[in-house]
A and B are shown apart, each in its own frame.
Chain A
Amino acid sequence: MGEEPSPVELEAFAMQRSAPFGGARPYEPAMMECVDDDDGNNGNGVKTSDEDKVAADRQPLQIDISDALSEKEKVKFTVHTTTTLPHFKKRESSVVRDHEEFTWLHNVYVENKDYAGIIIPPAPPCPDFDTSREKLQQLGEGEATMTKEEFAKMKQELEAEYLAIFKKTVVAHEVFLCRLAEHPVLGMDSNLQVFLEYEQELGVRGKNVKERLGDFLRGFVKTADELLIVGVKDTDDFFEKEKNFILEYHGRVKDSANRADRMTRALKDIAEDYSYISYAFCLLATHETGSLHRFFENASEMFEKYRKLQNRVASDQDLKLSDLLKYYARDTQAAKDLLYRRTRAQLDTDGATKGLERARLRGREIQVAEALQETTFRTFETISSTARKELAEFKQRRVAAFRKNLIETAELEMKHARTSLQVLTNVLANLKER
């Protein structure tokens, strides 16, 4: 764990290197699945070119997001690929993609029947800069009423917040691509190749209203089916157990994710309060003379430092706990989808078997029925076997990610608490000696 630079340091590193709202080099993805070797080692943090070469030897397809630009409504990601795969035109390529194209890629996978037995990595969430935008607007409106320092400070904070959200979204997109790349089957998909290499825009428009409506309705059908599936008892013990587990787990992990979010938000609010209190003390200090003046100044500074630390605690908690839980909520959903597809296939097979029987009874169209039954059965079998593997991997992945993040959470909490303690004790000693 010591090798990995902490997010704090990486943040500082990135901020030094990059311009505020663009070109942010993402730090290690929150979920360390990207540079996962086949022998199950977890990868390191920021990749250097040496590591790249070494990793490339082991990993045929390497993807990272080398740059990102935020424009008005959209974020554009520069996807950089290094590969040793033969069917790629170039060894290295760089293309610019926006969020919608990622979504398209995800859908392509989901709709591909061949991948029915695979847990499709969840799509990255849409970048959400709304809150930041609102605050920026508020700031602009309130500019007249604030002092220059206050304004500058708030602007700085807002920028930092924006940058943090920005980084998170970059990481989320990167993780998505990496997971696809490292999967033996999914990584070979031609659409992925197009996504990575095709230099023009993919010409993928977001779904229009009709398509969205179609999705919506399909969602309903799916939910109804899911309920049906929940009722259906699986003949296979393994899958029955898995199903129950996944269903329960999904609900709980989503719950946890929401509550972790609430906690993080409360922490952030507290940090903001301390900022305000620090400012109030500063005001008080300016009108005091003598020892109280110094006292208040020190208090003001201390609260400011403490606030920064609390902010760090909040953002680290956000990254390590909230994001972890949210990601696994989505991943568990993907696993659920897999189980759904399998059960769907099973029901299809059952239906085809019944059809075959009826056809045999009637003595007509037996071949057609037979063919159907066979295909459905084969589909079902394929899905089942891959599903077993996928689910086992899912478990492994989950445990590893939780382990890593829980350890990091604990370490970061301790680190920040120790630093806070240091700051507070120093100030206390300082104040007491007066």
Chain B
Amino acid sequence: MEDQSSWSKGIEPPPLRSAGGSEEGDVGFADKRITATEREEEDVVGGVHGGVLDCFDDDEGADIFTSAVSPSEVKSRISPDVPSLQLGGDSSRSNGMEAQMFDTSPDDADDLFAEATEEVSLESPEMPAVRPSDKAPTITPVSNTAKSVLNPDATNTPAAADQGARKLVSFRKTSEEVEESSGDTFDLHISVTDPEKVGEGMSAYMAYKVNTKTTLAMFSQKNYSVKRRFSDFLGLHEKLTDKHAHVGLIVPPAPEKSVIGMTKVKVGKEDPSSVEFLERRRSALERYLQRTSKHPTLMQDPDFRDFLEKDELPRAVNTQAFSGAGILRMVTKAADAVNKMTIKINESDLWFEEKQQQFDCLDQQLRKLHIGIESLVGHRKELSTSSAAFAKSTAMLGSSEDNTALARALSQLAEVEERVEQLHAEQCDADLYLFGELIADYIRLLSSIKAVFDQRGKCWQRWQDSQSMLLKKREAEAKLQWVNKPDKLQQAKEEIHEWEGKVEQGESEFELISKTIRKELSRFEKNRVKDFKNIIIQYIESLINTQQQLIKYWEAFLPEAKAIA
């Protein structure tokens, strides 16, 4: 039984504790610098879900720290900047960290570590609704000045790094304490419960209760409970996408529509498949809201807040498949599909290309895994039903058996099998909801990521278009110079100016979106790593539970079998 797994490919994991590498591939700069304290970091990360370390993950803080440590190091890395906020399992704590982040602003470029200590001293962080997007424009100038300030200190870099490391450690510790003390101060717990059928016939729909529990200052109350229907969720997703997707934020995808599922529910069939459908949808909606709430930017979106708070929302008619907006969407999608094929960014940054390939690969593999899991779920269900059937027939057999001991043993066997059936049904649920749905979520998320990459592509295209337009205008101006038509020349100059501005804007937008994507992706990676680990652990725990129960049941049966005379 201790066979070698034939799947083991004997690939050695990359060296763990080198100066440059760390366990978390893309975790980011801050981790990599702190060689001496990596072990501590691991513990802390484990304990506090990495929320602590990521306090530096705000735009400015991160950039400042990056620059502070070593400009040369920064250049040598193709890797991304310090990752954005990682919002792991405990949303309360992470949100606590977030709060702190939004508060800090990098005014004092010189004393970067003063920055750190300042953050440390924040005992009861408030939560002003500051939007990171506001600070975005200030990033570049700050880090530039920071860089210039530090260049003369290049020789001091190692020392600075250590200092930073030490300060970071201390920061971590203190923030940990802060977090623990602040406890529930920044939680945003969302759950989706109680699907209720409203209406009758084909115009019926399911209303879900969305319960929010929060102590965040931006909400006016501590508890909300509102009724929403599926199209409301889709509407929210639409709004968020419209607002944020084009700057490169990964907007979590909403659950899919399902005509078949909903029709069954509408018609009123109370069979197990429609029950399962509702449960799947409910948990998908819940996960959707939770994932959106964990995104630092999206969480603060007023539309999101409205969704959670307002009693009545305007019907999101645009989400219907056959509405005008729906058809427009389909057309746009088709057009996009065509365009996507033609946009190939002349990539100066290989990182993006690598990432895209990586995600394509990941997508394929996740799909494969998902197929396996769905198949597992199906077969587990079959096992459950066939165990039940077997139990029944065994009971019947026991009742016709005339040897009393054997009869009793057979009926005991029937009971065991019934319990086993129950067990398998539960395991099946675990298979499905723990494992399968998460993988499905990630597959959908990956398509969101693809969309984000496409947005970047579009942005680049726009920039390139502006550049070529500028070129044309310049040529036109040059021509006009020869012809000597003053008024046209003036106009041409104005146009050139206009297009120069557009080119600049295009470039900065492109830079911005690239940066945002980097941040988003590293956040995504962190979450992914954590999610997968958690899910696998939870799944194994469920399997363990099943095996333990099995042992118990069969142990109870054995004496009965032995008692047969």
- Find out whether the CB atom of A414 lies under 8 angstroms from the CB atom of B554: yes
For residue B5, which residues in chain A have a CB less than 8 angstroms away from its CB? 278, 300-301, 304-305
Known A266-B379, A295-B532; contact A290-B409, beta-carbon cutoff 8 A: no
Please encode chain B, from 1 to 28, with 1 for each CB lying within 8 Å of some chain A CB and 0 for all others: 1010111110101100000001111000
Contact of A419 among B1, B25, B396, B533 (CB under 8 A): B1
- A sample of 19 inter-chain contacts (CB < 8 A) reads A252-B393, A256-B393, A269-B375, A270-B376, A270-B380, A270-B383, A276-B372, A286-B9, A287-B358, A290-B23, A290-B529, A296-B532, A399-B403, A399-B405, A410-B554, A414-B554, A417-B548, A428-B537, A431-B537
Please encode chain A, from 380 to 415, with 1 for each CB lying within 8 Å of some chain B CB and 0 for all others: 000000000000000100010011001101110110
For residue B561, which residues in chain A have a CB less than 8 angstroms away from its CB? 403, 406-407, 409-410
Binding site for B on A (CB under 8 A): 149, 152-153, 245, 248-249, 252-253, 255-256, 259-260, 262-263, 265-267, 269-270, 273-274, 276-297, 299-302, 304-306, 308-309, 395, 399, 402-403, 406-407, 409-411, 413-414, 417-421, 424-425, 427-428, 431-432
Known A263-B387, A407-B558; contact A300-B376, beta-carbon cutoff 8 A: no
Known A263-B383, A286-B9; contact A302-B365, beta-carbon cutoff 8 A: no
For residue B7, which residues in chain A have a CB less than 8 angstroms away from its CB? 149, 278-279, 281-282, 300-301, 304
Shortest CB-to-CB span from A221 to chain B, Å, is 28
Known A287-B365, A424-B543; contact A294-B551, beta-carbon cutoff 8 A: no
Known A252-B400, A256-B393, A289-B14; contact A421-B544, beta-carbon cutoff 8 A: yes
Indicate if B200 sits at the interface (CB-CB under 8 A). no
Known A277-B376, A300-B7; contact A427-B14, beta-carbon cutoff 8 A: no
- Find out whether the CB atom of A259 lies under 8 angstroms from the CB atom of B25: no
> From residue 506 to 565 of chain B, which have CB atoms closer than 8 A to chain A?
529, 532-533, 536-537, 540-541, 543-544, 547-548, 550-551, 554-555, 557-558, 561-562, 564-565
Please encode chain B, from 382 to 403, with 1 for each CB lying within 8 Å of some chain A CB and 0 for all others: 1100110110011011001111
Q: Which residue of A lies closest to B3 (CB)?
A: A308
Contact of B386 among A266, A274, A285, A295 (CB under 8 A): A266
User: Cα distance A413–B417 when bound, in Å?
Assistant: 12
User: Cα distance A399–B59 when bound, in Å?
Assistant: 77
Known A270-B376, A407-B562; contact A301-B8, beta-carbon cutoff 8 A: yes
- Find out whether the CB atom of B1 lies under 8 angstroms from the CB atom of A399: no
Indicate if B413 sits at the interface (CB-CB under 8 A). yes
User: Cα distance A235–B361 when bound, in Å?
Assistant: 78
Shortest CB-to-CB span from B38 to chain A, Å, is 12
For residue A406, which residues in chain B have a CB less than 8 angstroms away from its CB? 409, 413, 557, 561, 564
Shortest CB-to-CB span from B337 to chain A, Å, is 26
Shortest CB-to-CB span from A357 to chain B, Å, is 39
- Find out whether the CB atom of A262 lies under 8 angstroms from the CB atom of B386: yes
Known A249-B397, A270-B383, A289-B14; contact A302-B540, beta-carbon cutoff 8 A: yes
Interface size for B (C-beta < 8 A) is 68
User: Cα distance A290–B406 when bound, in Å?
Assistant: 57
- Find out whether the CB atom of B365 lies under 8 angstroms from the CB atom of A269: no
- Find out whether the CB atom of A414 lies under 8 angstroms from the CB atom of B375: no
- Find out whether the CB atom of A245 lies under 8 angstroms from the CB atom of B389: no
User: Cα distance A273–B366 when bound, in Å?
Assistant: 15
Shortest CB-to-CB span from A156 to chain B, Å, is 8
Contact of A424 among B358, B372, B410, B547 (CB under 8 A): B547
Indicate if B373 sits at the interface (CB-CB under 8 A). yes
Known A260-B390, A403-B564; contact A283-B25, beta-carbon cutoff 8 A: no
For residue A284, which residues in chain B have a CB less than 8 angstroms away from its CB? 362, 365-366, 369
Indicate if B368 sits at the interface (CB-CB under 8 A). yes
- Find out whether the CB atom of B401 lies under 8 angstroms from the CB atom of A417: no
- Find out whether the CB atom of A414 lies under 8 angstroms from the CB atom of B555: yes
- Find out whether the CB atom of A399 lies under 8 angstroms from the CB atom of B9: no
- Find out whether the CB atom of B554 lies under 8 angstroms from the CB atom of A417: yes
For residue B544, which residues in chain A have a CB less than 8 angstroms away from its CB? 421, 424-425, 428
**What is the interface of chain B mostly: helix, strand, loop, or mixed?**
helix
For residue B540, which residues in chain A have a CB less than 8 angstroms away from its CB? 302, 424, 427-428, 431
User: Cα distance A395–B413 when bound, in Å?
Assistant: 20
Shortest CB-to-CB span from B39 to chain A, Å, is 13
Shortest CB-to-CB span from A294 to chain B, Å, is 5
Contact of B9 among A248, A282, A304, A418 (CB under 8 A): A282
Q: Which residue of A lies closest to B10 (CB)?
A: A297
Among the interface residues A269, A282, A302, A406, which one has the most CB atoms of the partner chain B within 10 A?
Answer: A406
User: Cα distance A302–B537 when bound, in Å?
Assistant: 12
Q: Which residue of B lies closest to A266 (CB)?
A: B383
- Find out whether the CB atom of B532 lies under 8 angstroms from the CB atom of A292: yes
Contact of A418 among B405, B551, B564 (CB under 8 A): B551
For residue A295, which residues in chain B have a CB less than 8 angstroms away from its CB? 532-533, 536
Contact of B558 among A290, A300, A411 (CB under 8 A): A411
For residue A273, which residues in chain B have a CB less than 8 angstroms away from its CB? 372-373, 375-376, 379
Known A256-B393, A280-B368; contact A417-B564, beta-carbon cutoff 8 A: no
- Find out whether the CB atom of A291 lies under 8 angstroms from the CB atom of B383: no
Shortest CB-to-CB span from B30 to chain A, Å, is 16
- Find out whether the CB atom of A414 lies under 8 angstroms from the CB atom of B551: yes
Contact of B550 among A282, A292, A417 (CB under 8 A): A417
User: Cα distance A152–B6 when bound, in Å?
Assistant: 10
User: Cα distance A152–B380 when bound, in Å?
Assistant: 27
- Find out whether the CB atom of B396 lies under 8 angstroms from the CB atom of A252: yes
> From residue 189 to 213 of chain B, which have CB atoms closer than 8 A to chain A?
none
User: Cα distance A304–B372 when bound, in Å?
Assistant: 13
User: Cα distance A407–B386 when bound, in Å?
Assistant: 22
- Find out whether the CB atom of B564 lies under 8 angstroms from the CB atom of A399: yes
- Find out whether the CB atom of B554 lies under 8 angstroms from the CB atom of A291: no
Among the interface residues B387, B390, B551, which one has the most CB atoms of the partner chain A within 10 A?
Answer: B390
For residue A305, which residues in chain B have a CB less than 8 angstroms away from its CB? 1, 3, 5
Shortest CB-to-CB span from A290 to chain B, Å, is 5
> From residue 398 to 434 of chain B, which have CB atoms closer than 8 A to chain A?
400-403, 405-406, 409-410, 413
For residue A293, which residues in chain B have a CB less than 8 angstroms away from its CB? 11, 13
Shortest CB-to-CB span from B357 to chain A, Å, is 10
- Find out whether the CB atom of A285 lies under 8 angstroms from the CB atom of B383: no
Contact of B369 among A277, A409, A421, A424 (CB under 8 A): A277
User: Cα distance A309–B557 when bound, in Å?
Assistant: 21
- Find out whether the CB atom of A413 lies under 8 angstroms from the CB atom of B536: no
For residue B564, which residues in chain A have a CB less than 8 angstroms away from its CB? 399, 402-403, 406
For residue A299, which residues in chain B have a CB less than 8 angstroms away from its CB? 536
Known A153-B6, A297-B8, A304-B6; contact A280-B369, beta-carbon cutoff 8 A: yes
